[in-house]
């Protein structure tokens, strides 16, 4: 079975995981499917903005940066 960004939803968002006790800052891991690293980083930042706008408990947290490690879906590691 193959997957694409379309399988994940229109914005490519798949999953988010919070690590509130991470040091030196809390971390939110956002898993995206995107055609490029730049698109994934922009998408992750957009997901964060939408979540913070919707959930008041997230508003004290600020986005310091959006960095995405690039995973190639069919790489032969």
Give the residue from 26, 70, 69, 73 showing the smallest Cα distance to 48. Answer: 26
pLDDT computed for residue 75 by the predictor? 64
Strand partners, 22: none
Task: Assess if residue 9 is contained within a domain.
Answer: no
How many domains does the chain contain in total?
A: 1
Range(s) of the domain holding residue 33: 23-68
Residues 6+ apart with CB under 8 A from 14: 8, 31, 32, 33
Task: Assess if residue 13 is contained within a domain.
Answer: no
Task: Assess if residue 36 is contained within a domain.
Answer: yes
pLDDT computed for residue 12 by the predictor? 84
pLDDT computed for residue 6 by the predictor? 41
Q: Please tell me whether residue 66 adopts helix, strand or coil conformation.
A: coil
Prediction pTM value: 0.67
Task: Say if CB 46 and CB 11 are below 8 A apart.
Answer: yes
Q: Which residues of the chain have pLDDT under 70?
A: 1-10, 70-77
pLDDT computed for residue 23 by the predictor? 93
Task: Assess if residue 76 is contained within a domain.
Answer: no
Q: Which two tokens stand for residue 13?
A: 């968002």
């Amino acid at each position: 079975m193959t997957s694409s960004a379309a399988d994940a939803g229109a914005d490519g968002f798949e999953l988010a995981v919070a690590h509130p006790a991470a040091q030196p800052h809390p971390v939110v891991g956002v898993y995206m499917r995107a055609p490029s690293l730049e698109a994934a980083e922009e998408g992750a930042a957009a997901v964060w903005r939408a979540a913070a706008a919707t959930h008041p408990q997230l508003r004290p947290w600020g986005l310091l940066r959006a960095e995405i490690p690039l995973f190639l879906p069919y790489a032969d590691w």
